[in-house]
A and B are shown apart, each in its own frame.
Chain A
Amino acid sequence: MVTGSNRLKTSLGAIELDNPVIPASGTFGYGREYKDLYDLNILGAMAFKGTTLEPRFGNPQPRIAECPGGMLNAVGLQNPGLEAVIHEELPQLAKYFHKPLLANISGFSIEEYITCARAMDQQPQVTILEVNISCPNVHGGGLAFGTDPAMAAAVTRAVKEAVSKPVYIKLSPNVTDIAEIAAACQEAGADGLALINTVLGMRIDPVRRIPLLANGTGGLSGPAIFPIALQRVYQTALRVNLPIIGIGGISSARDVIEMMMAGADAVEVGAANLVDPFACRKIIDDLPREMDALGIETLQEIKGAALCQEK
């Protein structure tokens, strides 16, 4: 009988997590807005706001729109830039967060990815490099690297050669075959995958007859995309043999269980944090109860459970 907190343990390769719940990049900042609400060290890990080489203000307003079951954002990778993140944000974060940390990085060229990855690799508090090749809200970067297997492989290979820490590639659902991109990343040496980023979408203001978001389009997140994310994780897990962080619309303990049965080793919780700042804590608290109800002793035993019949 596995008791207490051991039931929730999981791992990303050699990295042990107390539980599979990780706040997703871009929905948790550097944890500062959440740290007074609950002890962030109950989390399995944390992925902080995406970092680019240069500071970015992001896209014009409005950047947020609502839709049934979710939201659209076109923030556009707003962040203070690599130097400020390393010298100002990370030292602050070190004061209140002591669990594994995913440094999410983006670039507009392979050189920028390398520079960010190398700098983050040297930060003792960073555990995993999460390489974002899937942001739909910036032009000429992010997603441009994530829609072509050869480009995805090139970024993966370049970053892997530059760093010593595990490299996870964050994939976009806005492609014909996500498993093909995933396979290319595996071939190029990725240590793991994180999927999915947001789903491209838009709303139109019918009065003004223009897109509601100033950027025109945005990324859809929230419960509306959970089935999409689940299918992409399932499809990817069938194809590649790498640790997977499942992301997309997760907002309950049951979603976590489904995602792990689809082949995820851990999960990131995104939009749910924005409407319920206690979402991650609630999910972690609810997991044992939900597992009891489903006759699950440990999360380890359900990883990829739904894949068995196909594999």
Chain B
Amino acid sequence: MNEKSFTILNNRPIARSVFELTLLGDAGISAPGQFVDIRLPGFFLRRPVSVADWTEEQLVLIYKLVGDGTRALSLMEPGDHLDLLTPLGNGYDLSRMPEDPLLVGGGIGIPPLYGLAKTLLGQGKRPDVLLGFNDPQEYFYIGKFRALGLTVKVKTGGYVTEIMPAGRYVASCGPTAMLRAVRAMAADGQFSLEARMGCGFGACMGCSLETKTGSRRVCKDGPVFESEELLW
């Protein structure tokens, strides 16, 4: 982890209440599923945001307007600077995934799965993709997943598990209720969790989670956990 200033290249709405933020610079991301913690002028706590895509030159973050902090972020413009702690957390462990994992994302849980899909393809693996949205106004990145050449199924409203094949190895991110339903149908998998964080780097114990192997910090030991480690 380090603290680094990034210049905003682009900050635009891509769906209702959903923004795509592109930053210039190398965030040092080493695995899909990692996140960054953004300092916002006028707000005390940083905002943890998962990484959707990255190169050594650019970082793409997708965030949802949920409160005053993300609203302030949405008003920032190209050329503005943002102070980030990056990279944070442990991402998905690709070495444990089969040749054809099923990526299941719900709403604002979808972004890290895009980076995961690209990384898997880079390793010659071929994931299937299942995306859930509340309604069509919230659609984003469906085309970008398809542009990778992947089969993408979309569930609008209801439960994504209604169209999910059972018995697959999954990599999932989304609301807790969705993760539980996905896990119940999956053979095995890795799940990215969300939590209210204080620091984002393991110091404050604000996001602690009880697991089968004891207390774990969502920010430092996660946010991605193996299915068998979690107390469902």
A222 at the interface (CB under 8 A from B): yes
Q: Given A274-B203, A275-B199, A277-B203, are A78 and B208 also a contact pair (CB < 8 Å)?
A: yes
B187 at the interface (CB under 8 A from A): no
Of the stretches A58-66, A115-123, A187-195, the one at the interface is: A58-66
Q: Are the CB atoms of A274 and B204 closer together than 8 Å?
A: yes
A125 at the interface (CB under 8 A from B): no
Q: Report how far A71 CA is from B209 CA in the complex, Å.
A: 20
- List chain B positions with a Cβ less than 8 A from chain A: 1-3, 39, 43-46, 69, 85, 195-199, 201-210, 215, 220
Q: Are the CB atoms of A71 and B44 closer together than 8 Å?
A: yes
Q: Are the CB atoms of A71 and B203 closer together than 8 Å?
A: no
Q: Which of A67, A73, A273, A275 contacts B39 (CB 8 A)?
A: A275
Minimal Cβ-Cβ distance residue in A for B43? A66
Q: Report how far A78 CA is from B202 CA in the complex, Å.
A: 13
Q: Report how far A211 CA is from B46 CA in the complex, Å.
A: 21
B43: chain A residues within 8 A (beta carbon): 66
Q: Given A66-B44, A274-B198, A275-B39, are A29 and B206 also a contact pair (CB < 8 Å)?
A: no
- List chain A positions with a Cβ less than 8 A from chain B: 26-29, 32-34, 36-37, 49, 57-58, 61-71, 73, 75, 78, 222-223, 271, 273-278
Q: Are the CB atoms of A78 and B203 closer together than 8 Å?
A: no
User: Main SS of chain B's interface residues?
Assistant: loop
User: Main SS of chain A's interface residues?
Assistant: loop
Q: Are the CB atoms of B207 and A275 closer together than 8 Å?
A: no
Q: Are the CB atoms of A64 and B198 closer together than 8 Å?
A: yes
- Extra contacts, 9 of them, besides A73-B204, A75-B206 (Cβ < 8 A), are A27-B203, A36-B1, A58-B208, A63-B196, A63-B206, A64-B45, A273-B203, A275-B45, A276-B3
Return 28 A-B CB contacts under 8 Å, by A number: A26-B204, A27-B203, A27-B204, A29-B203, A33-B199, A33-B201, A36-B1, A37-B2, A61-B208, A61-B209, A62-B195, A63-B196, A63-B198, A64-B204, A64-B207, A65-B196, A71-B198, A73-B206, A75-B204, A75-B208, A273-B203, A274-B45, A274-B199, A275-B199, A276-B39, A277-B85, A277-B201, A278-B3
Q: Report how far A78 CA is from B201 CA in the complex, Å.
A: 16
Q: Given A71-B44, A277-B3, A277-B85, are A58 and B195 also a contact pair (CB < 8 Å)?
A: no
Minimal Cβ-Cβ distance residue in A for B2? A37
Minimal Cβ-Cβ distance residue in B for A34? B203
Minimal Cβ-Cβ distance residue in B for A75? B205
Q: Given A64-B196, A71-B198, are A57 and B203 also a contact pair (CB < 8 Å)?
A: no
Most chain A CB within a 10 A radius of its CB, from B46, B69, B199, B215 = B199
Q: Report how far A70 CA is from B43 CA in the complex, Å.
A: 8
Q: Which of B1, B196, B215 contacts A78 (CB 8 A)?
A: B215
5 closest A-B pairs by CB: A274-B199, A64-B206, A62-B196, A33-B202, A78-B205
Q: Report how far A62 CA is from B218 CA in the complex, Å.
A: 12
Minimal Cβ-Cβ distance residue in B for A67? B44
Q: Are the CB atoms of A28 and B208 closer together than 8 Å?
A: no
Q: Are the CB atoms of A29 and B202 closer together than 8 Å?
A: yes
